């Protein structure tokens, strides 16, 4: 049996060049010299007998062969990392890494509390928290780059049969306004009052914005008539804008606990309307599940919800549809196409959500 025409180090270098766009930046990111990177690429091209980069432009561009090798290289490196983590598990949670995914609100306000409790029990386990959109997080779980995640949106259709899902908790979105707003003297406002307010929202493409619009529409509120004054890209920015009197907003109850206690914003309830969404825990059943991930799922997650965590496939489909969905997911994973119940707090088991 002949030797492989590439090494893991060469695959890592190829991936770094593709990510950084140049040999020099790739060398800096890997803490090696640029000549060393160039030599490894030359050796790799000589072994494969194909060029991997178009060297005519200022940016290092992969050839078709380069893209193909990168696709498979990502899978090889991911499997190597998974292997190392499985071996680390033999130490019985005396080391290793737990990688958790979440979207903005959950990652900012809920996961730090959970991770804090986990670290108290298992201080030797390193924990990484990756905060991205629901779509990007789901793909990272599918590709084995994240052990498990808590999401607030729907899975991409092509991942419905690849991941397992457990409805976890309900996230309530509260209407908040400045304490000096005329309606702040009322605990409950009429539906018609919503059309008189100036709203501060997340971008129209954000998961949480879509959920809010859907719930309001189901409650008979014409969302097109709502006056959107500003669109901001973070919950903290929205809360600060509300405190400054620039408008009102919907925000997760977990994200406004401190502001309500300090009395710097007012929460108003809407007559006969509740805006809620379901948070879910997802993981990939076809990937190795570390002892750290098992411990987090079995010991930490139940403390922050009143629901029983029961995993299921994303949706029910025919056998032919399942096969097609799995084929799509497998192909997309090979291309590394990452794009991108009430909750209890930590002391009293009451907490929060996600964007």
Q: What is the mean predicted confidence (pLDDT) over 214-239?
A: 93
**Quick check: 345 pLDDT over 50?**
no
Inform me whether the pLDDT recorded for 188 exceeds 80.
Answer: yes
Q: Which of 37-51, 61-75, 159-173, 321-335 has the lowest mean pLDDT?
A: 321-335
pLDDT at position 327, please? Answer: 39
Backbone angles phi, psi at 266, to 5 degrees: -115, 135
Pairing type for strands 275-283 and 164-178 reads antiparallel
pLDDT at 324: 37
312-339 confidence digits (pLDDT tens): 766 433 333 343 344 334 444 443 333 3
DSSP 189-239: E-GGGGGGSEEEE--TTSHHHHHHHHHHHHTT--GGGSEEEEE-S-HHHHH
Sequence-distant (6+) residues with CB within 8 A of 120 are: none
Question: Which top CATH class is 87-169+278-334?
Answer: alpha beta
Q: Return d(Cα 63, Cα 112) in angstroms, integer.
A: 42
Average pLDDT, the chain: 84
pLDDT of residue 104: 85
Q: Which runs of consecutive H residues, i.e. helices, occur in 279-338?
A: 291-295, 319-334
**Is residue 98 within 8 Å of 296, Cβ to Cβ?**
yes
Q: Give the contacts of 22 (CB within 8 A, at least 6 positions apart).
A: 59, 60
Give the pLDDT confidence score for residue 344 in this predicted structure.
37
The pLDDT value given to residue 246: 96
Q: What is the CATH number of domain 8-80?
A: 1.10.10.10
Q: In which residue ranges of the chain is CATH 1.10.10.10 found? A: 8-80
Per-residue pLDDT tens over the stretch 101-120: 998 889 999 999 999 999 99
Residue that has been written with the tokens 């729907």 in this structure: 154
Q: What is the pLDDT of residue 340?
A: 35
Every domain of the chain with CATH number 3.40.190.10 lies at 87-169+278-334
Give the tokens for residue 327: 């084929």
The pLDDT of 193-202, averaged and rounded, is 96
The average pLDDT across 271-283 equals 93
Kindly give the pairing relationship between strand 275-283 and strand 148-151: antiparallel
pLDDT at residue 185 is higher than 60? yes
Sorted by sequence, the CB contacts under 8 Å of residue 300 that are 6+ apart come out as: 114, 117, 118
Cβ atoms within 10 A of the Cβ of 255, count? 26
Residue 89 has pLDDT above 80, yes or no: no
Ranges for all domains in the chain classified under CATH 3.40.190.290: 170-277
User: How many C-beta atoms lie closer than 10 Å to residue 124's C-beta?
Assistant: 12
Using one digit for the tens of pLDDT, what is the confidence trace for 46-61? 999 999 998 776 788 8
The domain defined by 170-277 carries CATH number 3.40.190.290:
yes
Rounded Cα distance between 271 and 39, Å, is: 69
Average pLDDT over residues 213-238: 93
């Amino acid at each position: 049996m002949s030797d492989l025409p590439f090494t893991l180090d060469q695959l890592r270098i190829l991936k770094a060049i593709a990510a950084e766009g140049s040999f020099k930046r790739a060398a800096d990111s890997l803490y090696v010299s640029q000549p060393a990177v160039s030599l490894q690429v030359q050796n790799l091209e000589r072994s494969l007998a194909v060029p991997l980069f178009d060297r005519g432009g200022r940016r290092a561009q992969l050839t078709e062969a380069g893209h193909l090798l990168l696709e498979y290289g990502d899978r090889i490196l991911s499997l190597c990392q998974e292997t190392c983590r499985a071996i680390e598990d033999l130490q019985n949670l005396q080391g290793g890494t737990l990688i958790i995914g979440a979207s903005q609100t959950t990652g900012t306000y809920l996961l730090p509390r959970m991770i804090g409790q986990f670290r108290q029990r298992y201080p030797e386990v390193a924990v990484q928290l990756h905060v991205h959109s629901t779509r990007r997080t789901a793909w990272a779980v599918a590709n084995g780059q994240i052990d498990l995640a808590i999401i607030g949106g729907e899975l991409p259709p092509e991942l419905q049969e690849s991941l397992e899902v457990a409805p976890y908790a309900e996230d309530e979105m509260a209407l908040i306004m400045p304490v000096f707003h005329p309606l702040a003297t009322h605990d409950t406002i009429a539906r018609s009052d919503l059309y008189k307010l100036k709203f501060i929202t997340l971008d129209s493409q954000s998961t949480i914005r879509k959920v809010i619009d859907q719930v309001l529409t189901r409650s008979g509120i014409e969302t097109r008539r709502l006056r959107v004054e500003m669109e901001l890209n973070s919950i903290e920015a929205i809360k600060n804008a509300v405190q400054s009197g620039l408008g009102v907003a919907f925000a997760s109850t977990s994200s406004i606990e401190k502001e309500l206690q300090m009395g710097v914003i007012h929460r108003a309830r809407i007559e006969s309307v509740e805006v809620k969404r379901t948070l879910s825990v997802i993981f990939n059943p076809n990937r190795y599940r570390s002892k750290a991930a098992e411990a987090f799922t079995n010991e930490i997650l139940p403390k922050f919800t009143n629901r029983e965590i029961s995993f299921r496939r994303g949706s029910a489909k025919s056998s032919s549809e399942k096969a097609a969905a799995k084929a799509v997911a497998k192909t997309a994973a090979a291309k590394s196409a990452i794009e991108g119940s009430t909750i209890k707090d930590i002391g009293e088991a009451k907490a929060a959500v996600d964007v």
